[in-house]
Amino acid sequence: MLSGTAVGNICNVSAMLSRESIALAYPAISVSVWVIGLAFAMLAGGIMGLVVSYPALRVKEEWFLSMILLVGGETFRIVVTNTPQIGCGFNGLAGITTPFYWLSSYFPSGPLQAEVPTGLYAAVIVALALGCFVFAQKICNSPYGRLLKSIRDDKVAAESLAKDVSRVRKQIMVIGSVMAGLAGALYVYYIGVATPEDYIPALTFSIWVMMILGGFANNRGLLVGTFVITMLDRGSLVSGILLQSYLANLNPNLIVYGRYMVEAVILLLLLVFRQKGIFPETRIKTKAYTLFDFKKNNNAEPSNSPGEGPQTGGAASG
Amino acid sequence: MTDENVLRVQGISKSFGGVTAVDNVSLAVKRGSITGLIGPNGSGKSTLFNLISGAEKKNPGGSIEFEGRAIDGLPPHRRSALGLGRTFQTPRLFTGMTVLENTMLAPRGQKGERPFVAPFRKRWEGQEIELAKKAQEQMTRLEIDKLYGKLTSEISGGQMKLAQLSTALMEDPKMLLLDEPTAGVAPRLAQDIFQSITDERQQKGTTFFIIEHRLEVLFKHVDTVFVMHQGRIIAEGRPESIVKDKKLIDAYLGS
Amino acid sequence: MLEWLAGSILLSLFNGSIYVVVSLGLTLTLAVVKLPNFAHAEFLTIGGYVGVIVSSAYPDNLLVIGAAAFLFCAAIALAVHRVAFKPLMDRKVSIYILVLASFAVAQFIRYGVFSWASVAGVLSATQNIKVYSLATLYNTELTNVYALAIVLAILISVLLELFLKLTTMGKSMRAIASNFDLARISGINVPRVVDVMWIIAGGLGGLGGMVFGIYTTVTPVLGFNTLLDIFAVVIIAGLTSFTGTIIGGYIVGFSQNTLMDFLHYYFDVSFGYQPLLPFALIIIILLLKPTGLAPSSQTGLSLIRRFARRSSSNPKEPEPPKE
Ligand SMILES: Nc1ncnc2c1ncn2[C@@H]1O[C@H](COP(=O)(O)OP(=O)(O)OP(=O)(O)O)[C@@H](O)[C@H]1O
Ligand SMILES: [Mg+2]
C-alpha cells in the first residue's frame, strides 16, 4: 500500500518522508541517485543551452541575445511552475537529502548529526567548484581561449580567419550550461528542495554582478566577485537575524530586498566608474610568449608590454 | 583549362539601396600572380573584396569560383578555410588581445582550438611552439616583433596594418586579398611590405590580389592590374600599358 | 459556444491599449537614445502604486490620479536618466553595458518598491476607483476601465503624433532619432530634448500602469510581469516605429487573451502558460524577421508623407564622388 501511493504521487508529504527514510537506510542508493542526478542535470543543462543557442545566436542586434536568454529562462520557469508533472509544479519537490544523509545514523542526536553530512557535502561541492575552475582556466589559457576572445572582439574578422564562429559560440553555450546544470543540482541537494521560484531573474542578476565585479575574462577575479556577493548574501541573512533580536518589529523581507538593491547599486557603480571590474583581463598564458620574452631579456630591450608584463609557462596548470 | 586561374568572378553585382557599388563585374586572377586592383575612392574595390570573401552577400546572379569550385554559397569561414584569406581596409584586429595573440590565432587546424583537447596542454603545446617560431619570423620581417606584448588597441594605425598583414600571412592562404596593405605605413616600410609579398609568392606560390592607392610601389611588383571605376572594371593589363591608358588617366590619374 | 469571445475581444482591446500606452514610451526611448530600457516596465509598477496612494485621497478622480501617476513617473525617469544612463551615454559605452545598467536600475526600483510596500503593508493593493458597467454587449459588460484604456490609447497616439510632427521640440526629437551627431552640430539642444523624451517615456509608463492598476491588483511585480510583453510589442514594431507599436500592442493583447482563450477552450491549454505567448512572438519574429514587422520609420505621418513623395518624384540617387 505504501509503495502504491509513493509511486503514484511523488509530491506529497508521505513520499517526501519515504524518500528521506530510504536515503537514511541505503547509503549506496543515496549516493548513486545523487551521481545519476548530477549527470542528468548536466545533460539537461547542456540540452537547454543547445536549444536556447539556436535562436540566441541568430539574432541581429547584440542585446537581443540577452533578451532571448531572459525569455528562455522565464519560459522554463513558467513551464515548470505550471506543469505538475515536472518537479511537482509550483510547490516543488521536497525531501531531497544530501548524498551523505545516511551518515547521520552513525551519530548520536545533537549538532554533529546534522552538521557532519552537510559539512561533508559542502566539501564535495567546493571540490567540484574547484574542478570547474581549473577546467575553465585550462581552456582559457589555450588556443581555444584565444579563439573565444577573438570571437568576442570581432566576429567578422574571426570568420575571415576560417574560424567557425557559430559553432564555437554553440560549444561555449553548452559548456556554460552544463556547468550551470551541475551547479543547480548541487544546490538542490544542499538545500533539500527544488522549486521553480528559487530561480528568478534576480539570481541571474547576482551572477552578472559577481562576474563584472571580478572583471571580464578573468577567472580569478570571478572567484573574488563570487566571494564578495556570496558574503553579501550570507552576511545579510546573518545580520538580519542578529538585528531582529534587537529590533523586534524589523521586517525580515527588507534584508532580502535590501541585498538585491545593494547588488544593483554595486553593478551601477561598477559600470559607471570601473567597467573593467576589480581586476584587469588576464593574458592568455601559453608557451608562445617564452620565445619572445627570451629574446627580449637577452637583448635587454625596454619593455613594450603593458602592465605587469607577460606571464608565461605553466601558471595555469592545476 | 581553369587551372591557370585561381579565382574567377563572373558577372557579380552589389547594390546598397539605390547605389550600385559593384556593377556586373567579371574577372580572373592567375594562380601565383600578384594582381592589383586600383580605382578612385568609392569605385567599389573594397565591396568587391567583401563579395569575394563573403563578408557581404552579392545580388542574385553571377558566380564566384575559387580553384574551380563555386564558393558564392559558402559562409565566410568556409571560404577562408579553402585558403582564401583577406585583410580589411580599416584593420579589424582583436583589440582585447596582444599582437602575438592576434598572429597566433590565424593558423588553421590548431589542435588546441578544440574544447576537449584544449585542457590537455601536452597535446597542443608542441604545435604551439612551432607556430610561435613561425609567428616570430613573420613579425620580425614586418618589424612588429617588439610589439608582441602590446594590446592591438594600443598600437598605431600603421602598426595595425602590419599586424593584420602578419596575421593574414600566418594563415598560409593559397590566395590573399589585401585591401590597401600600405595605407598609413611609412614609405620605406611600404617598399618592404611589397618585398615580403614578392618573397612570399616566390617561396609558397601564394596568389596576391591587392587594392592599393600607392601606384608607384604597386606597379613595381604586380603582374596585372585591374582598374575599377563606378563599380565596373574599365581596364585590365600589365602596369606598363595601364599607365598609358587614356581612359584610366581620365578616370583616375588625371585631373 | 462562443460566449467567451466577446468578453475576450474586449479584454484583448483593453490589454492591447495598455500595451500601446506603455510601449510608446519605450519606442520613444529606443528611437531617440537607442536604449533598450529593461527598467521601463518598472514605471508601470510605480504608476500603479501612485494610483493606489492618490486614489485613497481623491477616490474616482481619474484626472488627478492620472496626472499624479504621469508626473511622478516622469520625475523618476528623469532622475534615472541623470543618475545612471546619462553618465554612461556621455562616455559612449557599448549597448551591452547600457542593457546591464538598465537591468540594474530595474532591479533597484523593483526591490525599492518591494521594501516600501512591505513596510507600508501594500504588497498587494487596489486603487480606490469604482468600476461600473457602461453598456452590455453580447452578455459582456463594457466597463469604464475598458473604455478609459481604449480612449486613452487613441488619445495618446494622436497627441504623440501631433507633438512629434508639429512642435519644435517634437521635430528636434525626430532629428535626434534619425541622426544624433547631425542633430547636435545643427544646434539642437540635445540634453534638453533628451530630458523631455524621458519625461514623456516615464510618464506614459506610469499612466499605463495606473490604468492597468484599476483593473488588476497592484503588486511590486506588476511591471516586471509585463516586461517581456512590452518588449514583444516593440520588437513587432521593429523597435522604432510608432505605428508599429500601436499594431504590436494589440497583437500582443489579442495573443494573450483571445488566442489564449481559444487555446484554453479548444485545446485545454492551462491559463498558466499565458505569458509564453508573447515569448513565442519574440522568438518567432527575431528568427524570421530580425528587423521587426513594421518599416522603421519615425512616425505614421512621415510614412504617409514618404509615400506621397515617392509617388511624385523618385528619390535622388547620390552622385558617385568625382575628383
Ligand atoms: N555598407 C554599405 N552601405 C551602403 N553603401 C556602401 C556600403 N559599403 C560601401 N558602400 C558604397 O559603395 C560604394 C563603393 O564603396 P567601396 O568601399 O567599395 O569603395 P572603394 O573603392 O573601396 O573606395 P576606397 O578607395 O575609398 O576604399 C561607395 O559609394 C560606398 O558609399
Ligand atoms: Mg576601399
pLDDT digits (tens, 9 = 90+) for C164-176: 989 989 998 998 8
Work out the mean pLDDT of chain A and round it to a whole number. Answer: 81
* Percent residues over pLDDT 90 in chain C: 51
Chain-centroid distance of CA B168 in Å reads 7
pLDDT digits (tens, 9 = 90+) for A14-25: 777 777 788 777
Please tell me the distance in Å from B18's CA to the nearest CA on chain C.
6
- Chains A and C form CB pairs within 8 A to the count of 111
Cell of A245: 533580536
pLDDT digits (tens, 9 = 90+) for C73-90: 999 999 999 999 999 988
Which sign does the torsion angle of CA B120, B126, B131, B136 carry? Answer: positive
* Percent residues over pLDDT 90 in chain B: 44
**Ramachandran region, residue C187 (left: φ > 0; alpha: ψ -120 to 50; beta: rest):** left
Select from B119, B131, B145 the Cβ nearest to the Cβ of A139: B119
Which sign does the torsion angle of CA A82, A84, A89, A90 carry? Answer: positive
Among B43, B47, B209, the mutation site with the greatest number of ligand 1 atoms within 8 A of its Cβ is B47
Contacts with B43 from chain C: Cβ below 8 Å: 320
pLDDT on residue A29: 85
Q: Which of residues 75-94 of A touch C (CB under 8 A)?
A: 75, 78-79, 81-82
A238-247, B58-67, C232-241: the lowest-pLDDT one: A238-247
- Nearest-angstrom CA–CA distance, C125 and C118: 11
Among B19, B37, B182, B212, the mutation site with the greatest number of ligand 1 atoms within 8 A of its Cβ is B19
SS3 annotation, chain C: CCHHHHHHHHHHHHHHHHHHHHHHHHHHHHHHCCCCCCCHHHHHHHHHHHHHHHHHHCCCCHHHHHHHHHHHHHHHHHHHHHHHHHHHHHCCCCHHHHHHHHHHHHHHHHHHHHHHHHHHCCCCECCCCCCCEEEEECCEEEEHHHHHHHHHHHHHHHHHHHHHHHCHHHHHHHHHHHCHHHHHHCCCCHHHHHHHHHHHHHHHHHHHHHHHHHHCCECCCCCHHHHHHHHHHHHHCCCCCHHHHHHHHHHHHHHHHHHHHHHHHHHCCCHHHCCHHHHHHHHHHHHHCCCCCCCCCCCHHHHHHHHHHHHHCCCCCCCCCCC
Q: Which residues of B218-251 are buried (b: 16+ CB within 10 A; e: fewer)?
A: bbebbebbbbbbbbbbbbeeebeebeebeebeeb
* Percent residues over pLDDT 70 in chain C: 89
Quickly state the pLDDT bin for B243 (edges 50, 70, 90).
confident
Nearest residue on chain C to B253, judged by CA atoms? C323
Contact C315 B19 (CB under 8 A): no
pLDDT on residue B247: 64
Q: For residues B32 and C294, which has the higher predicted lDDT (pLDDT)? A: B32
B181-195, B215-229, C291-305: the lowest-pLDDT one: C291-305
Domain coordinates of chain A in residue numbers?
1-199, 200-296
How would DSSP label each residue in B145-214?
GGGTTSBGGGS-HHHHHHHHHHHHHHT--SEEEEESTTTTS-HHHHHHHHHHHHHHHHHH--EEEEE-S-
A164 DSSP assignment = -
Question: What residue ranges line ligand 1, CB within 6 angstroms?
Answer: B 16, 19, 21, 39, 41-47, 89
pLDDT digits (tens, 9 = 90+) for C210-226: 999 999 999 999 999 99
pLDDT digits (tens, 9 = 90+) for B165-207: 999 999 889 999 999 998 888 888 888 889 888 988 998 899 9
- How many other C-beta atoms lie within 10 A of the C-beta of residue B33? 18
Strand-pair partners of C218: C125
Is any Cβ of chain C less than 8 angstroms from the Cβ of A203? no
pLDDT digits (tens, 9 = 90+) for C194-209: 999 999 999 999 999 9
Atom of ligand 1 nearest to the CA of B47: 18
> C5-313: which CATH topology?
ABC transporter involved in vitamin B12 uptake, BtuC (1.10.3470)
Please tell me the distance in Å from A76's CA to the nearest CA on chain C.
10
Dist. CA B45 → ligand 1 center (Å):
8
pLDDT on residue A99: 85
Q: What is the CATH number of the domain that holds B216?
A: 3.40.50.300
pLDDT on residue A314: 35
* Percent residues over pLDDT 70 in chain B: 95
Quickly state the pLDDT bin for C295 (edges 50, 70, 90).
low
Query: CB of C81 within 8 A of CB of C40?
Result: no
pLDDT digits (tens, 9 = 90+) for A282-294: 888 888 787 777 6
Query: CB of B32 within 8 A of CB of B174?
Result: no
- How many other C-beta atoms lie within 10 A of the C-beta of residue A1? 5
Domain coordinates of chain C in residue numbers?
5-313
Residue written as cell 590565432? B105
pLDDT digits (tens, 9 = 90+) for A116-159: 888 899 999 999 999 999 999 999 999 999 999 999 899 899 99
Residue nearest to atom 25 of ligand 1 (CA): B41
Q: What would you measure as the largest C-alpha separation in chain A, in angstroms?
A: 85
The pLDDT of residue B250 is above 90: no
The pLDDT of residue A305 is above 70: no
How would DSSP label each residue in A20-52?
HHHHHH-HHHHHHHHHHHHHHHHHHHHHHHHHH
pLDDT on residue A296: 59
The pLDDT of residue C313 is above 50: no
pLDDT on residue B192: 83
Query: CB of B9 within 8 A of CB of B69?
Result: no
Residue nearest to atom 1 of ligand 1 (CA): B16
pLDDT on residue C315: 39
pLDDT on residue A313: 37
pLDDT on residue B255: 39
Select from A62, A208, A257 the Cβ nearest to the Cβ of C115: A257
Contact A55 C112 (CB under 8 A): no
Is any Cβ of chain B less than 8 angstroms from the Cβ of C96? no
- How many other C-beta atoms lie within 10 A of the C-beta of residue A295? 15
The tally of domains found in chain B comes to 1
C-alpha atoms less than 13 angstroms from C-alpha of C222 in its C-beta half-sphere:
37
Contacts with A306 from chain B: Cβ below 8 Å: 149-151, 154
Is any Cβ of chain A less than 8 angstroms from the Cβ of C116? no
Contacts of B among chains (3+ CB pairs under 8 A): A, C
The pLDDT of residue B240 is above 50: yes
Strand-pair partners of B73: none
- Give the angle subtended at the CA of C85 by the CAs of C79 and C87, to the nearest 5°: 100
Residue C141 φ then ψ, to 5°: -90, 125
pLDDT digits (tens, 9 = 90+) for B53-102: 999 999 998 999 999 889 988 999 999 999 999 999 998 999 989 999 99
Residue nearest to atom 17 of ligand 1 (CA): B46
pLDDT on residue A186: 94
C-alpha atoms less than 13 angstroms from C-alpha of A131 in its C-beta half-sphere:
9
Work out the mean pLDDT of chain B and round it to a whole number. Answer: 88
C-alpha atoms less than 13 angstroms from C-alpha of B98 in its C-beta half-sphere:
28
Cell of B129: 611552439
Q: For residues B51 and C284, which has the higher predicted lDDT (pLDDT)? A: B51
Is any Cβ of chain B less than 8 angstroms from the Cβ of C315? yes
The pLDDT of residue A300 is above 70: no
Query: CB of A220 within 8 A of CB of A211?
Result: no
Residue nearest to atom 18 of ligand 1 (CA): B44
Range of the domain at B218: 5-253
pLDDT on residue B224: 92
The pLDDT of residue C314 is above 80: no
- The Cα-based distances of C90 to C39, C87, C240 in angstroms read 19, 5, 22
CB-based contacts of C273: which residues, under 8 Å, 6+ apart? A78, A79, A82
Query: Mean pLDDT: which of A9-18, C224-233, C268-277 is highest?
Result: C224-233
- Give the angle subtended at the CA of B199 by the CAs of B197 and B201, to the nearest 5°: 70
Please tell me the distance in Å from C4's CA to the nearest CA on chain B.
48
Is any Cβ of chain A less than 8 angstroms from the Cβ of C273? yes
pLDDT on residue C203: 96
Contact B129 A163 (CB under 8 A): no
pLDDT on residue C291: 62
Query: CB of A307 within 8 A of CB of B167?
Result: no
- Nearest-angstrom CA–CA distance, B26 and B3: 17
Chain-centroid distance of CA B79 in Å reads 13
Nearest residue on chain B to C323, judged by CA atoms? B255
pLDDT on residue C322: 38
Q: Which residues of C52-88 are buried (b: 16+ CB within 10 A; e: fewer)?
A: bbbbeeeeeebeebbbbbbbbbbbbbbebbeebbbbb
Query: CB of C298 within 8 A of CB of C31?
Result: yes
B139-153, B171-185, C128-142: the lowest-pLDDT one: C128-142
Contact C315 B18 (CB under 8 A): yes
CB-based contacts of A22: which residues, under 8 Å, 6+ apart? A29, A30
The pLDDT of residue A309 is above 80: no
A109-113, A251-255, C22-26: the lowest-pLDDT one: A109-113
Cell of B30: 592567375
Residue nearest to atom 9 of ligand 1 (CA): B47
Q: For residues A247 and A1, which has the higher predicted lDDT (pLDDT)? A: A247
Residue written as cell 518591494? C114
Q: Which of residues 134-193 of C touch A (CB under 8 A)?
A: none
